[in-house]
């Protein structure tokens, strides 16, 4: 995607069970793009069927609805109307990207029962560490659980030098050495100690965080990061896709976090 760096990672909890985590990024035409990430309840073949229906429904609905909340509403209806889905539901974040005047992108995200995305940027002042803001519109209900479910959206500017990290709850429900869950605040605190909001580094560092936990994640983990480079490197396209190498997380716990609505 011109002007944007993308990176992703998927880590399964078990090689024997098919997971229900999913993500995608795709064009809508007219320099507009869409992205989503989510998690279907349960595992196994039934969860895989719901995952497939969810991905294709989101892609199709995005061609007919400009409002991300309407896209989630269409998915909610599709899951409830298909008797083969049983009582399966999912959490999901769906967003759109539009090039913004002056650089970066206007991002609109709608949430359906999903953990907050993290909007990451350099901290003001001495320039060390990052500022992390949780993006979770109020009112987003689970998708496919109730008729008439309501969804909310939030619009913000992903400016040059900013990043956005999306993840499934396998990350936040991972256990620390004392047995407590890492949680949303734990992830946000960890991200504030990073040195760059670049998508590839956000993914690499988060993978390292998972690898450093005693028991690893207790569930599948899907990660998707987007970032806007300050200036494209000479001779290098602005679009990249990576998701592998590990970095060692520091022990610093200092947090500078906020909440966006």
- Name the strands in the sheet holding 105-112, side by side, starting at the edge strand that comes first in the sequence: 21-29, 32-40, 90-99, 105-112, 152-158
C-alpha span between 183 and 78 (Å, rounded): 31
Maximum separation of any 2 CA atoms in the chain, in Å: 57
Where in the sequence is the domain holding 51, given as residue range(s)? 5-260
| DSSP code per residue over 119-159 | EEEEPSSS--SEEEEEE--TTPPPBSSSTT---EEEEEEE-
| 208: its two tokens | 């390292």
Burial of residue 23 (CB within 10 Å: 0-12, 13-18, 19+) is: buried
Closest CA to 130 of 213, 252, 243: 252
Strand partners of residue 218:
none
Q: What is the pLDDT of residues 187-235, one digit of tens each?
A: 999 999 998 999 999 999 999 998 888 877 778 899 999 999 987 544 4
Predicted TM-score of the model (pTM): 0.85
**Using an 8 Å Cβ cutoff, are 137 and 154 in contact?**
yes
- Residue 88's pLDDT is 77
Q: Which regions in the chain score pLDDT beneath 50?
A: 233-261
Query: Looking at the 3D structure of the chain, how many domains does it have?
Result: 1
- Residue 239's pLDDT is 42
Q: Give me the chain's average pLDDT, please.
A: 84
The enclosing domain of 221 has a CATH number of: 3.60.40.10
C-alpha span between 93 and 85 (Å, rounded): 20
Q: What is the pLDDT of residues 128-146, one digit of tens each?
A: 789 999 998 887 899 988 9
C-alpha span between 173 and 181 (Å, rounded): 5
- Residue 127's pLDDT is 60
- Residue 70's pLDDT is 97
């Amino acid at each position: 995607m011109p002007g944007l760096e993308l990176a992703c990672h998927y880590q399964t909890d078990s090689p024997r069970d098919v997971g229900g985590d999913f993500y995608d990024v795709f064009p809508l035409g007219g320099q507009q793009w869409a992205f989503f990430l989510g998690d279907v309840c349960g595992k196994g073949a039934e969860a895989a069927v719901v995952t497939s229906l969810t991905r294709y429904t989101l892609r199709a609905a995005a061609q007919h609805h400009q409002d991300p909340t309407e896209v989630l509403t269409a998915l909610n209806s599709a899951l409830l109307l298909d008797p083969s889905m049983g009582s399966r539901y999912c959490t999901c974040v769906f967003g759109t990207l539009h090039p913004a005047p002056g650089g970066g992108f206007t991002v609109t995200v709608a949430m359906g029962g999903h953990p907050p995305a993290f909007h990451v940027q350099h901290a003001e002042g001495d320039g060390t560490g990052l500022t992390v803001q949780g993006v979770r519109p109020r009112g987003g209900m689970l998708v496919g659980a109730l008729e008439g479910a309501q969804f909310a959206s939030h619009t913000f500017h992903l400016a040059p030098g900013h990043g956005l990290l999306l993840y499934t709850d396998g990350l936040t429900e991972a256990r620390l050495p004392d047995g407590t869950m890492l949680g949303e605040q734990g992830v946000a605190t960890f991200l504030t100690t990073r040195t760059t909001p670049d998508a590839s580094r956000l993914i690499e560092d988060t993978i390292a965080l998972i690898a450093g936990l005693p028991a690893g994640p207790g569930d599948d983990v899907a990660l998707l990061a987007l970032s806007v480079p300050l200036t494209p490197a000479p001779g290098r396209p602005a679009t990249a896709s990576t998701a592998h190498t590990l970095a060692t997380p520091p022990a610093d716990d200092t947090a500078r976090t906020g909440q966006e609505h």
